[in-house]
Amino acid sequence: MKKIINLTKTFFIDSSREFAVPFWTIIFPTLFFILFVSIFENIGTSENLDLKVGIYYEEPLQGVIKTTFDDVFSPSESNHIPFKVEEYDSFEKGLQNLKDSEINVFVVFPENFNLLNLKFLIETIEVPDIKVYYTNDSASMYAKDIFEVFLNEMNIMMYTRGEEVKLTVNEEIIGIKQSEPYRYRDFLFPAIILMSVLTVAVFNMPFDFSYYVEKGVFKRLNSTPIRGNEYFFSFLLSHLILLLLSLIVLYIEAYLFDVSPDIYNPEFIAYSGFSILVILSVGLLLSSLYKNMGSAEAISQVIYQATIFLSGFYFEVTNTPWFIRWYVYFNPVTYLVDGMRKLMTGNVLVPVNIIVPVIWMVASISIFSMSYKGMVYCEK
């Protein structure tokens, strides 16, 4: 046990003393997460959305109300209305279009709403509320909030014209309201975890193996009391410690960025551990294929870039052309990141999220076990 501890410590210090290793494993994924969330999560906010508001009049507006409404919602350049207004002649059609996401908000001016013209003279007149229908979609919520801002402007204009009358709104949400929206930071976080694991598996481990092959370290082990299984266990443990430090930093960052609390669920953590084992197994496979540092650097770069961009890390990749889509389905990381996202959104894992990664893990360990002796004999 003491030999394993000392050997693990030696491996960890040796691999971490170069700034590039902790930078690409720990620092870069955290910076990448901040950069991508800052850029892409703002896409789709109210100022970037093409918002549509549907209007239905149970009876046409008249008098001061109509004049005020036309002044506020007229499509002139001075008004800068951030949405399009579409009138409906049927309540059912407008509500259906809202459910079909063809419009973002459906506003109903009820019958007898024109009594608002008389309310400044007769305060006891009861005027029905404007009804605003919206959904739990973020764009619909934005449109509802913005429309109410313009209704407040109508109130101000009516007040300046001597009408001390306040418009009242009755809101109603259509559909089931979700407790938490699924944001881009939630979508991205599993990919950032796997990015850190891939860095260890595709770069750190193969580079170290290639270096030891070139320096003849494996042959020298035969003349020491260190056993082969002790060596490999210590080697893997040192990289797992580095990876654990990276995950701790990422989880601290996730807490600060208010990432979905589902990342703390035992199911998510367990599947993340499973993903780490699968990817590190593939890292062992890659380590056995490289004969020198030059080939390790060239091939690892190609595999790393192809994997992160063709695994659905940052965007949907199932619609890519067929001549590159084969890698999407061949790649085990595609199923791992999909499985992590399923667990974050409360969905159930499908068999392919387990079977394909397990096949890769078993095949990688088997090939590495058979090719290890050949790798040692190729030492200089």
Q: What average pLDDT does the segment 268-292 reach?
A: 90
Question: Is residue 218 scored above 90 in pLDDT?
Answer: no
Say whether both 193 and 149 belong to one domain. no
Q: What are 108's strand-pairing partners?
A: 56, 131
CA distance 290 to 176: 54
Rounded to 5 degrees, what are φ and ψ at 197?
Answer: -65, -40
Let me know whether 219 and 348 are in one domain. yes
Distance CA 3, CA 53 (A): 71
Encoded tokens for 45: 């906010």
**Whether residue 196 sits in one domain with residue 166:** no
> Is 159 part of any domain?
yes
Q: Characterise 101 by phi-psi region: left (phi > 0), alpha (psi -120 to 50), beta (else).
A: left
Given a cut of 60, whether residue 313 has pLDDT beyond it is: yes
In a domain, 5, yes or no: yes
Domain termination site, one of 173, 194, 217: 173
Range of the domain at 61: 51-173
The answer to whether residue 34 is domain-embedded is yes
Same domain, 73 and 26: no
CB 311 within 8 A of CB 317: yes
For 238, the token pair is: 């040192």
Residue 243 within any structural domain of the chain: yes
The CATH number of whichever domain residue 133 belongs to comes to 3.40.1710.10
Residue 344 lies in a domain: yes
224 in the same domain as 354: yes
Q: pLDDT band for 222, please (50, 70, 90 cuts).
A: low
Q: Is 130 helix (H, G, I), strand (E, B) or coil?
A: strand
Choose the final residue of a domain: 156, 173, 190.
Answer: 173
Please check whether residues 9 and 147 belong to one and the same domain. Answer: no
For the segment 62-75, the average pLDDT, to the nearest whole number, is 76
For residue 166, what pLDDT is reported?
59
Based on the fold, state whether residues 169 and 194 are members of the same structural domain: no
Residue 339 pLDDT: 95
pLDDT at 47 over 60: no
Tell which residue, 203, 341, 329, 183, has the closest CA to residue 272: 341
Residues 6+ apart with CB under 8 A from 238: 8, 9, 11, 12, 15
Q: Which of 53-67, 250-264, 288-302 has the lowest mean pLDDT?
A: 288-302
Overall number of domains in the chain? 2
What percent of the chain is modeled with pLDDT above 90?
A: 28
Pairing, β 51-57 against β 105-109: parallel
Domain termination residue (choose one: 125, 147, 173):
173
Average pLDDT over residues 290-307: 82
Top-confidence range, 37-46, 128-137, 179-188: 128-137
User: What's the mean pLDDT in 211-238?
Assistant: 74
Residue 278 · residue 198 · CB < 8 Å: no
* DSSP secondary structure code for residue 206 in this structure: H
108-117, 176-185, 285-294, 364-373: segment of lowest average pLDDT = 176-185
Taking the C-alpha atoms of residue 242 and residue 319, their distance in angstroms, rounded to an integer, is: 36
Question: Per residue in 255-269, pLDDT tens?
Answer: 999 898 999 999 999
CA distances from 215 to 208, 209, 212, 225, 227 (A): 11, 10, 5, 19, 19
Task: Please give the Cα distance from 26 to 51 (Å, whole number).
Answer: 40
Same structural domain, 224 and 370? yes
Lowest model confidence (mean pLDDT) among 3-12, 14-23, 165-174, 274-283: 165-174
Domain identity same for 67 and 197: no
- Structural element, H or E, at residue 109: strand 105-109
Q: In the predicted model, what is the mean pLDDT of residues 350-370?
A: 93
For residue 46, is it within any domain? no
Tokens 């459910």 correspond to 99
Which residue stretches of the chain are H helix?
2-16, 20-22, 28-40, 63-73, 91-99, 138-160, 184-198, 205-215, 217-221, 228-256, 266-289, 293-309, 322-330, 332-344, 352-377
Q: Cβ neighbours of residue 1 under 8 Å, at least 6 residues apart? A: none
Asked whether 209 and 46 are in contact (CB, 8 A), the reply is no
CA atoms of 20 and 48, how far apart (whole Å): 38
Structure tokens at 323: 């001549």
> In this structure, are 235 and 309 located in the same domain?
yes
137/178 Cα distance (integer angstroms): 9
pLDDT band at 365 (very low <50, low <70, confident <90, very high): very high
**Same domain as 346, residue 256:** yes
* Same-domain pairing of 263 and 350: yes
Looking at per-residue pLDDT, the higher value among 310 and 156 belongs to 310
Considering 50-54, 170-174, 228-232, 291-295, the range whose residues carry the highest mean pLDDT is 50-54
Residue 16 resides in a domain: yes
Q: Phi/psi at 348 (nearest 5 deg)? A: -95, 140
Quick check: is 233 in a domain?
yes
Q: Do 213 and 375 form a contact (C-beta atoms < 8 A)?
A: yes
Compare 356 and 134 and report the one with higher pLDDT.
Answer: 356
Mean pLDDT rounded to a whole number for the chain: 81
List Cα–Cα distances, 278 to 243, 272, 357, in angstroms.
14, 10, 6
